[in-house]
Structure 1
């Protein structure tokens, strides 16, 4: 109960504020989401990459991102073959299971549970996951209707990508920015996290579905909240890494479905009802599953 009260409840309360605000005022979430994605998150990512001393830990973060992605895609494809899903159903399930909410949800959980050093790992993970999701998420949402180059274009349309490139360039060249510039970056980055959390609550309030496919939603929930953190735990057990990084990877892998996948599914008409259902169910159940997981990790 202590973990729930100290870590999970404060974060869920911020989501609830966004949820209640949206149900009450019925605002247009797109402008708020755009400001978050196009302005504040790039500053947060720039802050992390500019000050990062890259080594084996970053390589582990990148590798685990791809291991989780391909492991879950493989499981979903096997399920698709066994259950004789069509391509649309398979794509919808991949969107619902392969991408975690490491930004709006994962980073604040890590910060509250493990502190500032762990938060740095979480930001790096979120940045890599954003690129992976924009590439593979758009591909699976759009395959059959759009070309793969659209997915690549989506990655380079996101300012986060350029924030990473600029930060890495300055970092590797050893360029020291003026203290006032650093202060401005820190000021803007500080806004990103609470705004991301409010936006998630607003996005959840807008989730609608006409059909609730119990079997698929249950399977997607198990894959997302049980299987993915188990895969991350195996990576941590088999791969020598700092204990703190291992905890961060397991926690982030246990996050619910990324709300962004619902937007992909809606835009490309890739089973949005299914993706929305899994997103909502995993987000609600994660309040319990994360509380239990944190008891063992913190």
Structure 2
């Protein structure tokens, strides 16, 4: 109950606020998602990489995160072939299952569970997940309808990727950013996560229970909340990572579907109603699964 009240409940309130806003005013979501994808998120990732130094733990987390991602991709592709889903459904399922909400959901949970020592490992994981979402996530969103060339062109055109490179270079070469400019970046980047969560709530307001594909959402639930942490535990054991790092990676891998994927689904029309529904259902269900997992880890 303490984890729910202090960590999970505030996140659900943001979803609900967006849901109520959309029910009352019936706003056009696309311009808001465009602002988030092309302005808020790039400044957020620049802010993170500009402040955080890359060290040994970053490379360990990077190796684990990449292996977990590819293991999940292989699992989803194999299951999609078994059930003979179409290409668009594959893209939507990959968006919903591969990327966990390690930022605005995972970071608070890790901080509550493991304190500052756990946060040292959680921050690099969140950074890497953001980079993977801005590359592989966008590729998945576009490839379902545009083909390989269109998907690659879209990935190359994303400002987030250049924000990452710029942030790393400025951090590594100790290039200072003038205080007033840095403050402006911070103001905008601080708005990124709340806006993404509000957009998700707004998108959910446009989805009715009749449109829920319960079979496929159950598919997402099993992979995102159960298979993903098991795969993460196996990979961490194979890499012989220390116990605390293993616990943090397993916990972050058990997070619900990332809210950013809803933005990409809306922006690139990759079955946004299904992706937002899957994000919502995994978020609500994770309240129970995370409570169980935390009792096992602590």
TM-score between the two structures when normalised by the length of structure 1 = 0.81
Q: Deviations over 1:102-145 (max 9, x none)?
A: 34533454455555675565454344333423433344444464
**1:166 maps to what in 2?**
166
CA distance 1:6–1:208, change in 2 (3 Å): same
1:222: how far off? 0.5
1:7 aligns to what?
7
Q: Separation in 2 of the partners of 1:269 and 1:197?
A: 18
Q: How far off is 1:226 after superposition?
A: 0.6
Instruction: Quote the Cα distance in structure 1 between the aligned partners of 2:18 and 2:294.
Output: 24
Question: How far off its partner does 1:262 sit?
Answer: 4.7
**Would you say the 8 A contact 1:104–1:196 is kept in 2?**
no
2:24 counterpart residue number = 24
**Which is worse superposed, 91-100 or 234-243?**
234-243
Task: Please name the residue that 2:38 is paired with.
Answer: 38
Distance 1:20 1:110, change over 3 A: farther
In the alignment, structure 2 segments of 5+ residues that lack a partner are none
Q: Is the 8 A contact 1:99 1:258 kept in 2?
A: yes
> Which is worse superposed, 110-119 or 202-211?
110-119
Instruction: Report if the CA contact (8 A) 1:256-1:279 is conserved.
Output: yes
Provide the alpha-carbon RMSD of the alignment. Answer: 3.2
For residues 46 and 269 of structure 2, the distance between their equivalents in structure 1, rounded to whole angstroms, comes to 33
Which residue matches 2:175?
A: 175
User: In the alignment, what sits opposite 1:51?
Assistant: 51
Q: Which runs of 5+ in 1 are unaligned?
A: none
**Conservation of the 8 A alpha-carbon contact between 1:225 and 1:289:** yes
Which segment is superposed worse, 265-274 or 196-205? 265-274
Aligned residues of 1:45 and 1:124 also touching (Cα < 8 A): no
Across the two proteins, how many residue pairs are aligned to each other? 298
Q: How many angstroms apart in 1 are the aligned matches of 2:265 and 2:119?
A: 29
2:73 paired residue number = 73
Instruction: For residue 100 of structure 1, report the CA deviation from its aligned partner.
Output: 2.5
Conserved? CA contact 2:64–2:235, under 8 Å: yes
The alpha-carbon deviation at position 79 of structure 1 amounts to: 1.9
